[in-house]
Amino acid sequence: MLPVRLKQGSPAHWALRVLGAAVAAWFLLSPIVRDLSPSEYGELTEIAFLALAAMSLNLLIGFTGQISIGHSAFFGLGAYTLAILVTEHGWSPGWTYPAAALLCFVVGVLVGIPALRLKGLYLVIVTLALAQIFPDLIRKLDVTGGSQGIGGLRYDAPEWTGLEAGRQGRAEWLYWVALASLAIGYLIVRNLVKSRIGRAMIAVRDNSTAAAVMGVNVPLVKTVVFGLSAALAGLAGCTFALRQTQVTPDNQYLSILGSILFLVIMVVGGAASLLGPIVGAFVYYRVEEFSRDLPDAEWLPGFLDSFLEGRPNFATLVFATLLVVLMFVAPFGLVGTARLLARRIAVVVPAPPTPPPSPEAALPAETGPGGDDLGARQPAADAPST
Amino acid sequence: MERFLQYFFDGISFGSIYALVALGLVIVYRGSGHLNFAQGELAMISAFLAWWYHDIGLSPWLAVLVAAATAFVVAAVIERVIIRPIGNRSQFAVVVAAIGLFLGLNALAPFAWRVRVPERFMALFPNEPTDFVRIGGAEWRELYIGILAVLAITGVGLWALFQKTRFGLAMRAVASNPESAPLVGIRTGRVLAVSWGLAAAVGALGGCMVATARGNVDATMMFSIFFAATAAAILGGFDSLVGAVVAGLFLGVFETMVAGYQPDLVGQQLKGVVSLLVILLVLLIRPSGLFGSQRVERV
């Protein structure tokens, strides 16, 4: 009899959780035993920083309903902070991560303050302005190396890791750094979303006027979330700079296309879902790779082969179409759809609140008690403040 | 004075292009309250289409007009098939879908025409080095006068359409009160589709002007222009056609002057900053822009 009902906290529920954690751990940690080449590590690193960038957007768009298409600027700010601190001031790349996050947080808050007055479209436009101006600005400045950019960035594995010094060791070490920053980003977003602030964020997203009436400090929530989101994007930018070993203003991730790609990854993975950005980054990277290699594939029939010859951007077209189609059929992305399907198989019945309900406990958490609507409730991602 | 006039003439031509794209943004916004993110990329694709039509044998101006007509149809279909069904769902979904269109159209041009480097675009106006009018010592290139003329003709045409025709009346009715418009027998859906088409056609003219001024068509050519046009639309009030034209021309002139008189601090590279500051100032001081109508939001 489907769906199977599992009590929250029952042994079966715990078994499922352990199984999920084990699968995730295998995916992330298996490089230890799989003996990967530097380029394979590079791919995983790229997936990790794309996931982190998409996660930063998810915090802002998915959970708080503030649309930004200027995150490429924060991403670039992080990358350039790392590059300048490393080459000009001789910092170890590891220490530049917190510095870059802090700087991006401050800049994000500064941008967020005028953005407080802005709703919906106007915020989109201001962040569009950021994305548009950032490459121009770094081309113009001297400290950023102008249009030449800054090169020669690398992060040798520290000795205590026992990794070898050459290219292999660096690629491996960078993967762990990227994974650690992704894990930190994940924990920050997860804890934030499941806390009181997270409920405030969701309230702001669903109806900011009602949230203000309920006592949520809407401007504060918006500004802080904007800053935090910028900081996470900056962290992703740091890893990006190390992966590229150089930063130039012409890189597509630092232009408006970068912001749009992060948005694509977030939406494809699943807005307002914690795992969405990670799944999205993985799918995006693999599909991109697949379609980049497609014209050379041997199994392809000849007429398709000659059709694709000399036509770039096939992957981008696929994702653009996917984005529009997803808005029709699955606005919650892959993770949201998977969750809907899983709910047909098994439903977790939340345990009733044990102590006499205090006022805080009565607030609807992510899993509302009882009723027909059992299981993790799908957050209504597609209703930003009007 | 000579320098001032020179910057003025150059700025007016940039401004005309901004105004054409901004007009498209305003037409769409008035109808449905959506910011059409793909406006700039639709214009870019239209310029590619015009280039292609010319390539297969149409005369330059006929190619531009046919491209504008194609853009009209394509955008009307996009509105009907994509934007309207999604718009019933949520504003966020519309923004995402429009961003998807942006991305897709941007990738489509190099994909469809196998273009890797910018393609040469035909000259629509006399554009030899000697083709200019000398006014007060400054040179006003005939190309730039031509672009301004296109804006003027488009502006007058739109004015006539909105003020003098029954369909224009219907469009104004939908803009001022989308709930009541259907009650008096206006077919809102058709009006919206036509708004999108009209906006894309005007934008197509803008795209072709950009291409002929640059001398080539390139997939990324509209990025900065779309952004400046958005700034112009905001300055003009976002729902005012007159505002879009005035603000577009003003922004073009202002930006050229700032870049010209401050070559070290701003220069050509940082012209975008002027637009950013204009956006921020307008939003902080007078969010309804110069000509926009104040809106009261009810909860």
Q: Does B227 sit within 8 Å of A132, measured CB to CB?
A: yes
Is the Cβ pair B103, A257 closer than 8 Å? Answer: yes
pLDDT digits (tens, 9 = 90+) for A322-344: 888 888 887 788 888 888 888 88
Q: Which of residues 57-86 of A touch B (CB under 8 A)?
A: 61, 65, 67, 69
Q: Which residue has the higher pLDDT, B91 or B274?
A: B274
Q: Decide if pLDDT at B198 tops 90.
A: yes
Task: Say which of A133, A139, A327 has its CB closest to residue B276.
Answer: A133
Beta-carbon separation of B270 and A133 below 8 A: yes
Closest chain B residue by Cα to residue A67: B92
Residue of chain A with shortest Cα separation from B101 = A320
Contacts with B102 from chain A: Cβ below 8 Å: 260
A vs B, Cβ pairs < 8 A, gives 137
**Signed CA dihedral, A39, A45, A51, A56: sign only:** negative
Rounded to two decimals, the ipTM of the complex is: 0.84
Residue A230 banded pLDDT, cuts 50, 70, 90: very high
pLDDT band at A274 (very low <50, low <70, confident <90, very high): confident
A132 vs B: CB within 8 A: yes
Contact B283 A137 (CB under 8 A): no
Nearest CA in chain B to A332: B93
Please say if the pLDDT value at position A138 is more than 50: yes
CA distance A99 to chain B (A): 26
**Which of A125, A304, A309 to mutate to probe the B interface, most B CBs <10 Å?**
A125
* Chain B contacts in chain A segment 7-46 (CB below 8 A): none
Assess whether pLDDT exceeds 70 at residue A379.
Answer: no
Residues of A in contact with B86 (CB under 8 A): 327-328
Contacts of B239 in chain A (CB under 8 A): none
Torsion angles phi and psi, residue B9, rounded to 5: -65, -45
Query: What is the C-alpha separation between B199 and B27, in angstroms, rounded?
Result: 6
Cβ neighbours of B99 in A, within 8 Å: 69, 260, 263-264, 323
How far is it, in rounded angstroms, from Cα A76 to Cα A145?
14
Show residues of chain A in contact with B234, CB under 8 Å. 122, 125
User: Do the chains contact at B86 and A124, CB–CB below 8 Å?
Assistant: no
Question: Which residues from A are below 8 Å from B228, CB to CB?
Answer: none
Mutate which of B18, B21, B79, B99 to test chain A, going by most A C-beta atoms within 10 A?
A: B99
Give dist(CA A158, CA A177) in Å, integer: 11
CB contact under 8 A, A126 and B116: no
Q: What is the pLDDT of residue B203?
A: 92
In the structure encoding, which two tokens stand for residue A38, read together? Answer: 């530097």
User: A296 or A66: which carries more pLDDT confidence?
Assistant: A66
pLDDT given at position A141 = 82
pLDDT at A117: 66
A321/B100 touch (CB, cutoff 8 Å), yes or no: yes
Question: Which of B175-184, B196-205, B286-295 comes out lowest in average pLDDT?
Answer: B286-295
Flag if B275 and A129 touch (Cβ within 8 Å): yes
Q: Does A306 touch chain B (CB under 8 A)?
A: no
Per the model's pLDDT, the better-predicted residue between B200 and A161 turns out to be B200
CB pair distance less than 8 Å for B273 and A324:
no
**Among A214-223, B5-14, B67-76, B95-104, the range of highest mean pLDDT:** B67-76
Tell me what pLDDT residue A239 has: 92
Q: Which residues of chain B make contact with A313, given a CB cutoff of 8 A?
A: 107-108, 110-111
Element (H, E) at A369: none
Q: Which residue has the tokens 């394979």?
A: A40
- The top-scoring range by mean pLDDT among A66-75, A162-171, B285-294 is A66-75
Contact A132 B92 (CB under 8 A): no
pLDDT digits (tens, 9 = 90+) for A67-84: 888 899 999 999 999 999
Q: Which of A187-201, A265-279, A367-381, B14-28 has the lowest mean pLDDT?
A: A367-381
Cβ separation of A320 and B86 shorter than 8 Å? no
Using a CB–CB cutoff of 8 Å, tell me whether A263 touches chain B. yes
CA angle B12, B234, B25 (to 5 degrees): 80
pTM: 0.85
> pLDDT, tens digit, for every residue of B249-284?
999 999 888 888 887 777 777 787 888 888 888 877
User: Which residue has 């491209």 as its token pair?
Assistant: B67
Q: Which residues of B are less than 8 Å from A129 in CB distance? A: 227, 231, 272, 275-276, 279
Strand, coil or helix: what is A6? strand
CA distance A345 to chain B (A): 28
Q: What is the pLDDT of residue A101?
A: 93
Mean residue pLDDT of chain A comes to: 81
A137: CB partners within 8 A, 6+ apart = B270, B273
Q: How far is A13 from chain B (nearest CA, A)?
A: 34
% of chain A beyond a pLDDT of 70: 88
Whose CA is closest to A238, among A57, A386, A100, A42? A100
Query: What is the rounded CA–CA span in Å between residue A348 and residue A5?
Result: 6
When pLDDT is averaged across residues B172-200 and rounded to a whole number, the result is 87
CA distance A62 to A383: 10
